[in-house]
Amino acid sequence: MSMYRALQCRLDEDLSSLTHFLRARGVAHRITEERGQQVIWTRNEADAAIVRGLYTQGVPEPVADSTPAAPRRPPRLAWQRMARLIPVTLLVLLVTAVVALITGLGSNIQTVVLFTFTPVTPAGYIAAAPDMDQWWRLVAPMFLHFGWLHLAFNALWYWELGRRIELRSGGWWLLGLTLLFAVISNTAQWLFGGPALFGGLSGVLYGLLGYCWLYQTLAPNVHFDLPRGVVVMMLGWLVLCLSGVVTMLGFGAIANAAHVGGLVIGSLCGAIAGGLQRMR
**Spatial separation of the C-alpha atoms in residues 40 and 3, rounded to whole Å:** 10
Element (H, E) at 2: none
Residues labelled as active-site residues: 202, 259
Check: CB of residue 254 under 8 Å from CB of residue 203.
Answer: no
Q: Which candidate, 7, 147, 174, 207, places its Cα nearest to that of 90?
A: 174
**Spatial separation of the C-alpha atoms in residues 153 and 247, rounded to whole Å:** 17
Check: CB of residue 129 under 8 Å from CB of residue 118.
Answer: yes
Measured torsion, CA atoms of residues 195, 200, 202, 205, in degrees rounded to the nearest 10: 120
Q: How many CA atoms lie within 13 A of 192 on its CB side?
A: 13
CA pseudo-torsion sign 85, 86, 88, 91? negative
**Spatial separation of the C-alpha atoms in residues 10 and 49, rounded to whole Å:** 19
Count the helix, strand and coil residues of the chain and give each as a percent rounded to the nearest 5.
60, 10, 30
Check: CB of residue 180 under 8 Å from CB of residue 257.
Answer: no
Do the strands 37-42 and 29-34 form a parallel or antiparallel pair, or are they unpaired?
A: antiparallel
